[in-house]
Amino acid sequence: MESNIKLITDDGLRLDGRALNEMRPIKIQTGVVEKADGSAYIEWGANKIIAAVYVREAYPKHAQNIDRAIVKARYNMSGYSVEERKRPGPDRRTMEISKVITEALESTIVLEKLPRAEVDVFIQVLEADAGTRIASLTTASVAVADAGVPMRDLVVGCTAGKADGKMVLDLSKDEDNFGEADIPMAILPRTKKIVLLQLDGKVSQEEFDEATSMMMNAIPRISEIQRNALMSKYNVEEGE
Amino acid sequence: METKQIVYPGDKVDVDDLKPRNGMYENNSEYFSEYFGVVQKSEKFIDIAPFNSPYLPRANDKIIGKIMDIGATMWTVDINSPYYSLLHMNDTPWHVSSGDLGRYLNIGDYIYAKISVSNEIKESWLTLRDNGLKKLEIGRIISVKPPKVPRVIGKGGNMINLIKNETDTRVIVGQNGFIWIDGDVDNVSNAITAIKIVEKEAHIIGLTDRMSEYLKKLKGEN
Amino acid sequence: MPMDSNAVISEIRKNFMLESIKNGKRLDGRPLDEYREIKITENFIPKSAGSAMVELGNTKVVAGLKIEQGEPFADTPDKGVILLNIELLPMAFPTFESGPPSEQAIEYSRVVDRGIRESKMIDTSKLVIESGKNVWMIFVDIDVLNYDGNIIDACTLAAVTALKNAVIPGSKLGEKDFKLPVNATPVAVTMWKLGDELICDASLEEEQVSTGRITVTMSEDNNIHAMQKGEIGEFSLEEIQKAIKTSSNIGNKLREKYFR
């Protein structure tokens, strides 16, 4: 991963002009897949991702959990979503991402309120531009709330990493490709408990702490965007 | 005027002296919302009323269901819920013999039924043996989000009666969010429009008056 | 998948719909040959070589292109390659499953592909880099995000829009980028038989009630380039002729409105 590519300019800014701790713009919209019980669409930088949730009896019957719901998130990429055409269907990378997203969502959904059910979360990456797993989880969590599935908190994801020897928030594609480390993380904002964490690269323990503190600081802002997305469908209410 | 506080999953709910009831979880004797919804306080209780949530079967609810499958002695019924419900042949007003269920209710047929029993794992059984329960032979069925049903009905039924009277239709509101409407084609589509407005604007205060005006205007145009 | 309520239409709903259509009006108030509102967002995926999102009422599809170099097929050494694939995403409808494409997805892909191929919309002989060895390959991937009927027409609109916007990355070979050579604008118009009537742009529910589907794809030369009779059901020759006339009329209107 190490290379000589310059990712931080002399005035301390990143190639896309962001400060080290600056996020890319994020926009979330709910109710985008009419057939689904809940859905949300996110634009995070140039990422474009849609998530749709169906709640139904698990099938076949012997696959049901008698006392709680099963969660199944499926992360899938469109053929045109990445530089080289992606062949349709799962591969090892997308299966791993599906698994860590499923587990993060399972830790917030109140599973015992929906015995025998399956919460299917379909995630489609239409355009990928670094940080798709975290953007997927962030929007999937809004879609789950939009479906009215009981949950303890809205999961928020974020990434930080190391580029050109500096710790940076919300890696760009270049920083992801040519930087020294990538750390995606997701937390439950109320308790600050971590429900997804991966690391890929090389960082010191101090650098790791710097990365997590950057992400923790960014979380409230992302939370706010999630909440506004849910609210926008009902904005008339605020006038009361 | 009733005040409505909006909450998101994980938001702390101040219960004060009230008894927390639906839509919250407890942690270290504090309460937190499980839904995106509004806080509803009554004299004794505090609830979170979600803006959207799946219908979960409850005994004694009168619902509208759709026949999905026919077995030897039971029909499987879609009740606008993640969970299917069952109707046994003996819980109908007819003398049905085993294996002959399709003669009475076919796949795709709608019924107005009562949930007689439901259990902890959300299994439920229906009955057609009560006043007014029946197969719905004509008319149209629409669905609204289950949490909006009380607003569609209105206090003491005032909203739904208003819609029925002004559009000259017959309407049955199932507590699961399926609604049956029958009447002249144009009247039915007026009633549907009206119900959809109520669903969308359920949280707006003074909706009954606005709906009354709206329906009068609609009538004037016809 | 278990049975799903969305896939089962009730007898009363069906009768109501057929009665209404007999009187020339559909349940959503449209005349028989009228399309729902069409919204086309060009260039929806900026990083693809060409793209479009098409919303046909609640039906929502995204087409995106990737253009890569590759070997031509042995029997057409002097032609570039266009590969078109429709994914009926499981998010789009409760009974769509993950996994390999269903027969339905494959049929839809092939019908959309035929209209584009046979109308000679793209001059594939201009996509050759080195005869027999290296050509431009155009991957047209179309995702159905929400299914409310009439996938074939929506996907054709999306694919045609994306192709019209497409740029071949000639700069990768030290040459200039150039616009994909486009010679025709095929438009697919699909009709469904409901009772004794033919309707255009069926909603999902109308598709479920229909007894037969017929797609006619034509281009501005007013010739027929692809047809497909689908689903169980029968058409008379007169009905097919009527479908061709309708396709011609509507195709012209849509071309005028969206592809000027």
**Strand positions, DSSP E, chain C:** 38-42, 51-56, 59-70, 81-88, 128-130, 134-146, 167-168, 178-179, 187-194, 197-200, 213-218, 224-230
Listed residues B105, B136, B167: the one ending a domain: B136
Q: Residue A60: is the preceding peptide bond cis (ω within 30°)?
A: yes
Q: Give the closest residue to C143 by CA, choosing from C89, C99, C66.
A: C89
Q: Do B8 and A56 touch (CB under 8 A)?
A: no
Half-sphere exposure of A73 (CA within 13 A, CB side): 29
* Percent of chain B scoring above 90 in pLDDT: 81
Q: Do A34 and C64 touch (CB under 8 A)?
A: no
Which chain B residue has its CA at the smallest distance from C28's CA?
A: B189
Q: Do A151 and B25 touch (CB under 8 A)?
A: no
CB contact C24 to B (< 8 Å) = no
Q: State the nearest Cα–Cα gap between A15 and chain B, in angstroms.
A: 37
pLDDT, tens only, B163-185: 999 999 999 999 999 999 999 88
Q: Are B40 and B113 in the same domain?
A: no
Can you give the pLDDT at residue A1?
A: 45
Residue B11 lies in a domain: yes
CB-based contact C246:C222 (threshold 8 Å)? no
Give the integer Cα–Cα distance in Å for B127 and B84. 14
Q: Give the closest residue to B120 by CA, choosing from B157, B76, B80, B83.
A: B83
Residue B57 lies in a domain: no
Which chain C residue has its CA at the smallest distance from B69's CA?
A: C3
Q: What is the mean pLDDT of residues C96-122?
A: 94
ipTM of the predicted structure? 0.92
Q: Are B187 and B156 in the same domain?
A: yes
Q: What are the phi and psi torsion angles at A197 (to 5°)?
A: -155, 130
* Percent of chain C scoring above 90 in pLDDT: 86
Q: Do A78 and C147 touch (CB under 8 A)?
A: no
Give contacts of A152 with chain B, Cβ < 8 Å: 9-10, 25, 32, 34
Q: Which residue in this structure is represented by tokens 């964490």?
A: A197
State chain C's mean pLDDT as an integer: 94
Can you give the pLDDT at residue B207?
A: 78
Q: Are B97 and B149 in the same domain?
A: no
Q: Are B81 and B149 in the same domain?
A: no
- What tokens appear for B16 in the block? 């004060």
Q: Is the pLDDT score of B2 beyond 60?
A: no
Residue B55 lies in a domain: no
Q: Are B27 and B84 in the same domain?
A: no
Residues of chain A with pLDDT under 50: 1-2, 237-240
Q: State the nearest Cα–Cα gap between A188 and chain B, in angstroms.
A: 9
Q: Is the pLDDT score of B3 beyond 70?
A: no
pLDDT, tens only, C128-164: 999 999 999 999 999 999 999 999 999 999 999 999 9
Residues 6+ apart with CB under 8 A from A68: A111, A112, A114, A115
Can you give the pLDDT at residue A19?
A: 97
Q: Is the pLDDT score of B46 beyond 70?
A: yes
Q: Are B156 and B212 in the same domain?
A: yes
pLDDT, tens only, B136-166: 988 889 999 999 999 999 989 999 999 999 9
Q: State the nearest Cα–Cα gap between B131 and chain A, in angstroms.
A: 31
Query: Angle C179-C180-C185 (CA atoms, 0-180°, nearest 5)?
Result: 120
C85 SS3 class:
strand
Q: Do C8 and B185 touch (CB under 8 A)?
A: no
Give the integer Cα–Cα distance in Å for C52 and C48. 10
Q: State the nearest Cα–Cα gap between A53 and chain B, in angstroms.
A: 12
The CATH number that domain C21-258 falls under is 3.30.230.70
Q: Look up residue A88 and give its DSSP letter.
A: S
Q: What is the mean pLDDT of residues C16-32?
A: 90
Q: Is the pLDDT score of C10 beyond 90?
A: no
pLDDT, tens only, B83-112: 999 999 999 999 999 999 999 999 999 999
Give the integer Cα–Cα distance in Å for C10 and C17. 11
Residue B80 lies in a domain: yes
Q: Are B167 and B114 in the same domain?
A: no
CB-based contact A212:A185 (threshold 8 Å)? yes
Expressed as residue numbers, the domain containing B15 is 5-50
Q: Do C90 and A127 touch (CB under 8 A)?
A: no
Class (C level, CATH) for A26-230: alpha beta
Residue B56 lies in a domain: no
User: If pLDDT is split at 50, 70 and 90, which confidence band does B203 have?
Assistant: low
**Strand positions, DSSP E, B36-169:** 37-41, 45-50, 62-70, 74-78, 84-88, 110-118, 124-127, 134-136, 140-143
Q: What is the mean pLDDT of residues C226-235?
A: 94
The count of structural domains within chain B is 3
Query: In chain C, what are the domain boundaries?
Result: 21-258
Q: Are B87 and B122 in the same domain?
A: yes
Can you give the pLDDT at residue C2?
A: 52
Can you give the pLDDT at residue B201?
A: 77
CB pairs under 8 A between A and C: 96
CB-based contact C143:C45 (threshold 8 Å)? no
Q: What is the largest CA-CA distance in chain C?
A: 65
Q: What is the mean pLDDT of residues C159-182?
A: 94
pLDDT, tens only, C46-105: 999 999 999 999 999 999 999 999 999 999 999 999 999 999 999 999 989 888 889 999
Q: How many residues does chain B have?
A: 222
State the CATH number of the domain containing residue B15: 2.40.50.100
Can you give the pLDDT at residue C1?
A: 39
Give contacts of B34 with chain A, Cβ < 8 Å: 110, 113, 150-152
Q: Is the pLDDT score of B222 beyond 50?
A: yes
Q: Is the pLDDT score of B79 beyond 50?
A: yes
- Residue with the bigger pLDDT between C195 and B2: it is C195
State chain B's mean pLDDT as an integer: 92
CB-based contact B178:B61 (threshold 8 Å)? no
